[in-house]
């Protein structure tokens, strides 16, 4: 399964999953249809599925047009998003599995950014491969999503699920927010050597006009403050030893950054 990253809107990413042997494709969070249709035409592939992580327009805005072009495709989303995702036919919950071509993905219920958010994780099929995590706006490279409909407790539980996945997991998050996220991280974790190395690498990539997505989950565990709420340095930065309160205070600081 090939993953193709497409830029959309001002800073969104759409992900096309392509199976060349069957010449079929699926798309994760089509913010808009046009770049997806262009890529499908280039691949000469049939779109068979839309995998939505949540209902926000910059993740489902292309659904209707894609359904018009491929009326037999299936739209997947979270059960709690019923009535909010255009064309949704499959309503997923924690522990469900979905299939694309010869690959299966685990579904995680990860509320926080929204009350209905889900993520899709394709485990590696061999020791030499990476896992593929499509996490929408729950986990970002260097950050996490704002809490629009959920609570800090929900978000900590959700991020804990994603943090438990193997280090060798590619994190396909839906926005190019990495540099600003890491700039914030430095304000609360200034002595983190891994973080300093990472931000220099990200600056260089952005200066070359390159994307910073996907990232690796192992790197996130070392440098992303929103996966590190138990770290004494971060707890000291927000004057709390409680995991949820530490996370909530970090998120509040990031909201004002």
Cα(23)–Cα(18) distance, integer angstroms: 7
Q: Is 189 noted as a catalytic residue in this protein?
A: no
Query: CB of 202 within 8 A of CB of 178?
Result: yes
Selecting among 56, 81, 96, 117, the annotated active-site residue is: 56
Burial 179-209 (b: 16+ CB within 10 A, else e): bebbebbeebbeebeebeebbeebeeeeeee
Selecting among 58, 96, 106, 189, the annotated active-site residue is: 58
Tokens of 35: 């770049």
Cα torsion angle, 49, 54, 55, 60, sign: negative
Q: Can you tell me which residue has the tokens 């064309």?
A: 87
Selecting among 54, 55, 117, 189, the annotated active-site residue is: 54
Q: Is 106 noted as a catalytic residue in this protein?
A: no
Selecting among 18, 29, 175, 189, the annotated active-site residue is: 175
Q: Is 57 noted as a catalytic residue in this protein?
A: no
Query: CB of 106 within 8 A of CB of 59?
Result: no
**Which 3 state secondary structure label does DSSP give 115?**
coil
Tokens of 1: 């399964």
Burial 4-27 (b: 16+ CB within 10 A, else e): eebebeeebbbbbbbbeeeebbbb
Cα(55)–Cα(57) distance, integer angstroms: 6
Q: Is 117 noted as a catalytic residue in this protein?
A: no
Closest CA to 235 of 250, 224, 220, 222: 250
Name 51's Cβ contacts closer than 8 Å, sequence gap at least 6: 26, 27, 28, 29, 76, 77, 98, 100, 120, 134
Selecting among 81, 113, 117, 189, the annotated active-site residue is: 113
Selecting among 29, 96, 106, 137, the annotated active-site residue is: 137
Selecting among 59, 96, 106, 189, the annotated active-site residue is: 59
Q: Is 72 noted as a catalytic residue in this protein?
A: no
Tell me the catalytic residues: 54, 56, 58-59, 113, 137, 175
């Amino acid at each position: 399964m090939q993953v193709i990253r497409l830029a959309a809107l001002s800073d969104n990413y759409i992900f096309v999953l392509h199976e060349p042997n069957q010449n079929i494709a699926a798309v994760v969070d089509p913010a808009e249809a046009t770049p997806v249709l262009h890529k499908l035409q280039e691949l000469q592939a049939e779109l068979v599925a839309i995998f939505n992580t949540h209902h926000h327009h910059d993740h489902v805005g292309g659904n209707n047009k894609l359904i018009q072009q491929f009326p037999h495709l299936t739209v997947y989303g979270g059960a709690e998003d019923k009535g909010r995702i255009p064309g949704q036919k499959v309503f997923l919950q924690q522990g469900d599995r979905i299939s694309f071509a010869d690959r299966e993905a685990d579904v995680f219920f990860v509320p926080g950014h929204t009350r209905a958010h889900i993520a899709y994780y394709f485990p590696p099929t061999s020791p030499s491969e990476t896992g593929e995590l499509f996490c929408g706006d729950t986990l970002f490279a260097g950050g996490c999503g704002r809490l629009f409909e959920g609570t800090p407790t929900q978000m900590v539980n959700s991020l804990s699920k994603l943090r438990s996945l193997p280090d060798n997991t590619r994190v396909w998050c839906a926005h190019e927010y990495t540099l600003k996220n890491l700039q914030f991280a430095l304000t609360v974790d200034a002595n983190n050597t891994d973080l300093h190395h990472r931000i220099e690498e990200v600056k260089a990539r952005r200066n070359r006009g390159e994307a910073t997505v996907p990232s690796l989950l192992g790197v996130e565990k070392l440098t992303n403050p929103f996966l590190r709420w138990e770290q004494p340095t971060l707890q000291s930065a927000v004057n709390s030893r409680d995991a949820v309160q530490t996370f909530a205070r970090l998120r509040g600081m990031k909201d004002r950054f």
